[in-house]
């Protein structure tokens, strides 16, 4: 279950509706499990006020949830993207707190939960994705203790000092604790969550295991129920990091196609064959640090540390959440900065920044990755940042330099990138120059190590690891010693990552 479905509506309605699979890697990752276990995917089609009957796409049973125009405004644009999103990303933009948005969030979470209850066979696995649906696990558990419930948070979980601003902080934590397993991107996110649980609810936590005390007649039929060291009956919840990844083999495969390699060459030519192409690929979001990147680049041009004849920055900024005020303002700021830099430093034959406010198919993205000498990921806060991994997976030539913000989840794994603090503009400029000037041998050494990591820890491994934690119990994570039914049959299993809009 995810806020958005893994398919995009192209045209038509009713039986004539045409759907196109979203190009996200997660669909591929979950497809085998979904098919094997007779899975159902529950989510919103992305269009307000549109009703669609359940349908099948690529062998996956899709159950659309409809949202009214007001749900979209209050639940999606409001509470999800103007309250939770900025709050969970360290208040880079100020979050808005509105009670009517919260009410809509509760109602829409209820609707999603009801759809899952209808779809789920006895003992089914329900895998809920992302911050838009944090209340669903508890709603499911209250109604159906037989279900096996997983939750994966694709975005950061903030430190308690920030999280505690949320007027509904207790309800959200309780909502999540309905799950058997709560997955986070980073160890730090899981730690922040455990702290919020201790502070708000006073529950005990032991490493990744949280003990939720049960009332006298509670816990019947629940999994993971035991009596703890103090003699209290508790339900245990596993809350730990499961860093997400990409369908790395697919990126490698695309990168090895001659047409895509030819397209990469053509991109270089069309940009005037500069010595260096730097690339940024992001959803147009204030968390991505696009302004910091442009500032650093503009200063390098101003100070003649780099020359427009030798370098071009390609910035793909895919449109996102365009009706939310903070996003409108961000677009204005970014576009003003881009045109100032272009006005000041471009020449007739060379453009300082090639700015593209569009989304592109995966093939074109891979061609861009192959064409780019330097990839700039300068997010101020990012759950993972899959672009960094896509770049690495595409560089089958073991070339290219990744400049990566230490505030991304990816930086926990991609240590051989040039790690930067994007707030430190001088440091960012130094890293850009270092990347531009890096000798080929060093580039190859770093890229080989990065590729090893990304290819070994791909999205298939991620989904299998999470699914295993959810359905098997191991002694190692101390998630054992419980009253557990045999491995359940999966009836509902979903995800929330849609690449082209997705985690960029
Ligand atoms: O992972 C973050 C996330 O919000 C996903 O839940 C979502 O599918 C994606 O980014 C794109 O955002 P949106 O669905 O709001 O366009």
Q: Using CA atoms, how far apart are residues 275 and 373, in angstroms rounded to an integer?
A: 9
**Token representation of residue 438:** 């890096």
CB of 209 closer than 8 Å to CB of 238: yes
Q: Ligand 1 centre from 412 Cα, in Å?
A: 22
Q: Which atom of ligand 1 is nearest to the CA of 320?
A: 16
Q: Ligand 1 centre from 497 Cα, in Å?
A: 7
Q: Using CA atoms, how far apart are residues 448 and 452, in angstroms rounded to an integer?
A: 6
Closest C-alpha to ligand 1, atom 2? 503
Residue 167 CB partners (closer than 8 Å, separation 6+): 97, 99, 102
* Whether the CB of 320 sits within 6 Å of ligand 1: yes
Residue written as token pair 């009253």: 483
Q: SS3 for 478?
A: coil
Q: What is the pLDDT of residue 395?
A: 98
Closest of 176, 85, 75, 160 to residue 381, by C-alpha: 85
Q: SS3 for 19?
A: strand
CB of 429 closer than 8 Å to CB of 296: yes
Q: Ligand 1 centre from 501 Cα, in Å?
A: 7
Q: What is the pLDDT of residue 493?
A: 29
- Give the 3-state secondary structure of 357-425: CCCCCHHHHHHHHHHCCEEEECCCCECCCHHHHHHHHHCCCCCCEEEEECCEHHHHCCCCCEEECCCCH
* Whether the CB of 501 sits within 6 Å of ligand 1: yes
Query: Which ranges of 89-135 would DSSP assign to H, the alpha helix?
Result: 99-119
Q: Which atom of ligand 1 is nearest to the CA of 498?
A: 8
Q: Which atom of ligand 1 is nearest to the CA of 76?
A: 15
Q: Using CA atoms, how far apart are residues 112 and 41, in angstroms rounded to an integer?
A: 11
CA-based torsion, 80, 84, 85, 86: positive or negative: positive
Angle between helices 136-143 and 169-176 (to 10 degrees): 60
Q: Using CA atoms, how far apart are residues 50 and 42, in angstroms rounded to an integer?
A: 15
Q: Which atom of ligand 1 is nearest to the CA of 130?
A: 6
* Whether the CB of 4 sits within 6 Å of ligand 1: yes
Q: What is the pLDDT of residue 352?
A: 98
Closest of 245, 259, 276, 1 to residue 139, by C-alpha: 1
Per-residue pLDDT tens listing for the chain (504 residues):
999 998 888 888 877 888 887 766 567 667 778 888 889 999 999 999 989 999 998 888 999 999 999 999 999 999 999 999 999 999 999 999 999 999 999 999 999 999 999 999 999 999 999 999 999 999 999 999 999 999 999 999 999 999 999 999 999 999 999 999 999 999 999 999 999 999 999 999 999 999 999 988 787 777 889 999 889 999 999 999 999 999 999 999 999 999 999 999 999 999 999 999 999 999 999 999 999 999 999 999 999 999 999 999 999 999 999 999 999 999 999 999 999 999 999 999 999 999 999 999 999 999 999 999 999 999 999 999 999 999 999 999 999 999 999 999 999 999 999 999 999 999 999 999 999 999 999 999 999 999 999 999 999 999 999 999 999 754 334 444 433 333 333 333 233 222 334 444
Q: Ligand 1 centre from 385 Cα, in Å?
A: 12
Q: Ligand 1 centre from 71 Cα, in Å?
A: 16
Residue written as token pair 């207790």: 170
**Token representation of residue 351:** 């453009």
Q: What is the pLDDT of residue 475?
A: 38
> Cα torsion at 21, 26, 28, 34 (round to 10°)?
-100
Q: Using CA atoms, how far apart are residues 358 and 456, in angstroms rounded to an integer?
A: 31
Distances (CA, A) of 474 to 180, 238, 374: 14, 11, 42
Q: Enter the DSSP assignment of 79.
A: I
Q: Ligand 1 centre from 96 Cα, in Å?
A: 19
Neighbours of 306 (CB within 10 A): 23
Q: Which atom of ligand 1 is nearest to the CA of 2?
A: 6
Residue 138 CB partners (closer than 8 Å, separation 6+): 174, 175, 176, 177, 178
Q: What is the pLDDT of residue 453?
A: 98
**Token representation of residue 472:** 């098997």
Task: Give the strand pairing for 418-420 and 401-405.
Answer: parallel
Q: Using CA atoms, how far apart are residues 132 and 85, in angstroms rounded to an integer?
A: 9
**Token representation of residue 285:** 């979001």
Closest of 335, 385, 43 to residue 186, by C-alpha: 385
Q: What is the pLDDT of residue 491?
A: 31
- Give the 3-state secondary structure of 311-374: EEEEEEEECCCCCCHHHHHHHHHHHHHHHHHHHHHCCCCCCCEEEECCCCCHHHHHHHHHHCCE
């Amino acid at each position: 279950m995810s806020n958005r479905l893994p398919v995009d509506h192209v045209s038509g309605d009713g039986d004539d509706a045409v759907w196109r699979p979203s190009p996200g890697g997660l669909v591929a990752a979950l497809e085998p499990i979904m098919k094997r276990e007779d899975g159902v995917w529950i989510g919103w089609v992305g269009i307000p006020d549109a009703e669609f009957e359940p349908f099948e796409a690529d062998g996956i049973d899709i159950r659309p949830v409809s949202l009214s125009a007001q749900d979209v405004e209050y639940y999606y644009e409001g509470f999800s993207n103007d309250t939770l999103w900025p709050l969970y990303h360290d208040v880079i933009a100020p979050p808005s707190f509105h009670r009517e948005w919260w009410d809509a969030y509760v109602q829409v979470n209820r609707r999603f939960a009801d759809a899952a209850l209808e779809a789920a066979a006895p003992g089914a696995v329900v895998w809920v994705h992302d911050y838009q649906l944090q209340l669903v696990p508890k709603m499911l558990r209250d109604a159906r203790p037989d279900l096996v419930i997983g939750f994966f948070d694709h975005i950061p979980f903030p430190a308690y000092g920030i999280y505690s601003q949320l007027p509904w902080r207790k309800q959200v934590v309780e909502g999540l604790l309905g799950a058997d397993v709560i997955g986070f991107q980073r160890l730090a996110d899981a730690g922040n969550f455990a702290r919020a649980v201790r502070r708000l609810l006073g529950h005990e936590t032991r490493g990744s295991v949280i003990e939720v005390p049960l009332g006298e007649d509670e816990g019947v039929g629940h999994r993971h129920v035991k009596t703890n060291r103090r003699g209290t009956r508790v339900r245990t919840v596993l809350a730990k990091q499961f860093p997400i990844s990409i369908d790395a083999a697919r990126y490698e495969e695309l990168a090895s196609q001659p047409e895509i390699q030819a397209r990469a060459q053509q991109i270089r030519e069309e940009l005037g064959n500069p010595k260096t192409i730097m690339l940024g690929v992001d959803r147009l979001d204030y968390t991505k640090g696009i302004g910091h990147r442009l500032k650093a680049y503009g200063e390098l041009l101003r100070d003649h540390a780099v020359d427009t004849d030798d370098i071009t920055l390609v910035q793909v900024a895919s449109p996102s959440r365009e009706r939310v005020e903070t996003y409108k303002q961000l677009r204005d700021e970014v576009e003003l900065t881009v045109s100032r830099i272009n006005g000041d430093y471009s020449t007739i034959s060379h453009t300082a920044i090639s700015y593209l406010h569009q989304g592109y198919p995966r093939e074109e993205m891979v061609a861009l990755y192959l064409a780019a000498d330097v990839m700039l990921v300068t997010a101020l806060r990012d759950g993972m940042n899959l672009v960094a991994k896509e770049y690495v997976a595409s560089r089958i030539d073991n070339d290219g330099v990744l400049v990566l913000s230490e505030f991304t989840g990816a930086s926990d794994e991609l240590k051989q990138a040039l790690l930067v603090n994007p707030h430190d503009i001088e440091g960012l400029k130094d890293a850009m120059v270092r990347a531009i000037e890096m000798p080929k041998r060093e580039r190859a050494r770093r890229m080989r190590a990065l590729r090893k990591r990304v290819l070994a820890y791909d999205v298939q491994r991620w989904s299998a690891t999470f699914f295993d934690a959810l359905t098997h119990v191991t002694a190692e994570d101390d998630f054992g010693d419980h009253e557990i039914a045999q491995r359940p049959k999966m009836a509902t299993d979903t995800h929330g990552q849609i690449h082209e809009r997705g985690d960029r």
